[in-house]
Structure 1
Amino acid sequence: MAKEVERKFLIRDESWRKAVERSVAIIQFYLAISAERSVRMRISDGKAAKLTLKFGSDLRVRDEFEYPVPLAEAREMMTFAIGNIIRKTRHHVRHGGYVYEVDVFNDVLDGLVVAELETTDSVPDALLPAWLGREVTGELRFSNASLALNGFPELVP
């Protein structure tokens, strides 16, 4: 079991793009969602699939378990998806010794761009990259499960 410690941010500008190290096309969908747990399937670059189980209601720190799934079975399970199937490109951007995952959403979530930082360290705000905007950690409407169920979140300043 791994503890996932995650901070999430909106993006201020496009300057992060010049530091992209790699990008992955992701299709992700949920098979079960509740307030304290979720079951997610993720297909990366159309080549590999993982089933992820997350437990806990704290969006910043949760217990997470991941398992590889045969690609054909993952695609078959897509018919059981709850809500929207999320399509996004995840860009890995290094800054200050950390890798930020910048998700550029497509399809029903087109226009949404969110950066995530997963680390056990407490990164002071002064060391965060300038291209990050408002922190939305803990705001349920920006969780991927909520995006699947409710679609594009209202962007309140």
Structure 2
Amino acid sequence: MPTEIERKFLVDHAKWAAVTKPVGTVYKQGYILSEEKRTVRIRVAGDAAYITLKGASAGISRSEYEYKIPVSEGEEILDNFAASLIQKTRYNIEHAGNTWEIDVFTGDNTGLILAEIELQHEDEPFEKPLWAGQEVSHDNRYTNASLSVYPYNIWKQA
């Protein structure tokens, strides 16, 4: 079974602003199903689209199945079936032998920047970049599925 093992961190805005960034990819993703134990997501990322099924989290691990689909079909599915959406720009940054994915959110999640690192096993050591701040791996508010229905701009003020 394919497994995703990921740790997630808030990004320090000032330190991130000083980073030389590669070209980012605009993501639009929507959720057809978003429950505690499973999600079904459609993602259009630049000139590619995917359908992804994710299982329940066990720590920082969960099952994940992802399949490429035609972009035109991804757009149609988002328009006709997605119950909730998020938009962001993703930057891939190499740091100390690992690829970090930094998501700069827009729309109702503007102001939120998250960094993720995918690992081979849960206790794999890694070096955290200076711009990676507080870990939020276990805070479900920061999952993309949650942000699509309960956006950052609503709860950040609470």
Q: Give me the TM-score of the superposition, normalised by structure 2.
A: 0.87
In the TM superposition, what are the counterparts of 1:24-35 in structure 2 within 5 Å?
24-35=25-36
Runs of at least 5 residues in structure 2 that lack an aligned partner in the other structure: none
Q: Are the counterparts in 1 of residues 13 and 113 from structure 2 also a CA contact under 8 Å? A: no
The ranges of structure 1 where at least 4 consecutive aligned residues each deviate by more than 4 angstroms after the TM superposition are none
In the TM superposition, what are the counterparts of 1:72-91 in structure 2 within 5 Å?
72-78=72-78, 79-83=80-84, 85-91=85-91
User: 2:44 matched to which residue of 1?
Assistant: 43
Do the aligned partners of residues 13 and 109 (structure 1) sit closer, same or farther apart at CA in structure 2, a change above 3 Å counting? closer
Q: Per-residue deviation at 1:130?
A: 1.4
In the TM superposition, what are the counterparts of 1:116-131 in structure 2 within 5 Å?
116-121=116-121, 122-123=124-125, 127-131=127-131
Q: What is the CA RMSD across the aligned residues, in angstroms?
A: 1.9
Q: Map Cα deviations across residues 100-121 of structure 1 (whole Å, 9 max, x no partner).
A: 1000001111111000011125
Number of aligned positions between the proteins: 152
1:10 and 2:1 correspond: no
Distance 2:23 2:118 in 1: 17
Q: Letter of the 1:143 partner, please give it.
A: T
Distance 2:58 2:107 in 1: 28
Percentage of identical aligned residues: 36
Distance 1:134 1:80 in 2: 34
Q: Give me the TM-score of the superposition, normalised by structure 1.
A: 0.88
Q: Are the counterparts in 1 of residues 5 and 120 from structure 2 also a CA contact under 8 Å? A: yes
Do the aligned partners of residues 142 and 25 (structure 1) sit closer, same or farther apart at CA in structure 2, a change above 3 Å counting? same
Distance 1:133 1:25 in 2: 23
Q: Per-residue deviation at 1:16?
A: 4.0
User: 1:140 matched to which residue of 2?
Assistant: 140
Q: Per-residue deviation at 1:155?
A: 4.2
Distance 2:130 2:151 in 1: 28
SS in 1 for 2:137: coil
SS in 1 for 2:155: coil
Q: Are the counterparts in 2 of residues 16 and 131 from structure 1 also a CA contact under 8 Å? A: yes
Q: Per-residue deviation at 1:154?
A: 3.3
Name the structure with the higher strand share.
1
User: 2:69 matched to which residue of 1?
Assistant: 69
Q: Are the counterparts in 2 of residues 59 and 140 from structure 1 also a CA contact under 8 Å? A: no
Do the aligned partners of residues 4 and 142 (structure 1) sit closer, same or farther apart at CA in structure 2, a change above 3 Å counting? same
